[in-house]
Amino acid sequence: MKKNILILTWLLFLFVDFSFAQSSIQYIIKCDCDKNNCDTIAINDYDENGNLVCSFENDSTKVSKTFIYNSESKQIQENTFNNLGVFENSIHSYFDSSSNWVADSSFDLNKKLLFYKEIQRDNDLNILSINWKNPNIPTPFITQRIAYNELKKEIANTKCFGSQNCITQKLEYKNELKINIETWLLSKTTSLPILKESTSYIYNDNGKIKISITKSGHKDECIYLLFYNNVFW
C-alpha cells in the first residue's frame, strides 16, 4: 500500500498546478473491514472551495482525470487521460441561465462526438429524466431517472440499459448527510428487483465521509477516505 501511495503522490505532482497551494488531498484506501488486505485505490485533489480538480485511479486502467468549474462551482468539463498521461476524452456539461443542468456531450482526442445526454426536468416532481444517445441514432442506449427530495438531495437514481436491465440506487439521509445507499438490480431473469449491496457512511467531526462500509452478502468491504490539508506548505 505504501508503494502505491508514493507512486500516486508522484503522479499528483506531475498533474497539479501549484496554484492549488491550499488544496487538500484525499487518499482512498480499500480494505477488508478488519483492516487487512489494504490497497490505495485512488488519490483526489480538492481546491480551496472543496471542488475536485484532479483524480488518479489505482486500478487496472490507471487513468487520471481533471475537472474544470465555472464561476458558480458547477462542473463544466471532465478530462480523462490514460496511464501514460495522454488525453483520451472529455465530457462537457451545459447549464441554463438559472444554473440548471441541461445537457452533456463527450468528445474523443480528435473532437469527435462520442455520445450526448438529453436532460428533461420536472420541477414539480423533483425528477430529472436523462437520455444517453449516440450520434445519429435516435434511440437512447441508456435511460436514466433521478429523483430528489425537497432539499434537492438525490434520493433515487435508476439507469436502464433495456426494458428489463436496470440498476437503481436508493439514498437515505440524516440531518442532510447521506448515511446509506442500497443498490438494486432488475434483469430478465428476475421478476422483481434484487438487492445487490448496501453501503453505509461514517463521518468525521467536519462532516466529511471518513469510512464507507459495503455489504454485499460476502465479506464486508471498507473504504477509508483520508484528508490532508495544505500538503504543499
- Taking alpha carbons only, the member of 137, 17, 136, 124 closest to residue 66 is 17
Of 2 and 69, the structure prediction assigns the larger pLDDT to: 69
pLDDT of residue 20: 42
CA 132/CA 116 separation, integer angstroms: 6
The DSSP string of 23-59 is: -EEEEEEEEETTS-S-EEEEEEEE-TTS-EEEEEE-S
The arithmetic mean of pLDDT across residues 2-24, rounded, is 51
Pairwise CA distance, residues 120 & 114, whole Å: 20
pLDDT for 18 equals: 44
Q: Across the chain, what does the average pLDDT equal?
A: 89
Higher pLDDT, 213 or 6: 213
Task: Record the cell numbers describing residue 114, joined without a space.
Answer: 462520442
pLDDT, tens digit (0-9, with 9 covering 90-100), for 98-148 = 999 999 999 999 999 999 999 999 989 999 999 999 998 999 999 999 999
Nearest to 72 by CA among 46, 101, 92: 101
**Residue 230 confidence class, pLDDT cut points 50, 70, 90:** low
| Range scoring the smallest mean pLDDT among 9-13, 124-128, 187-191 | 9-13
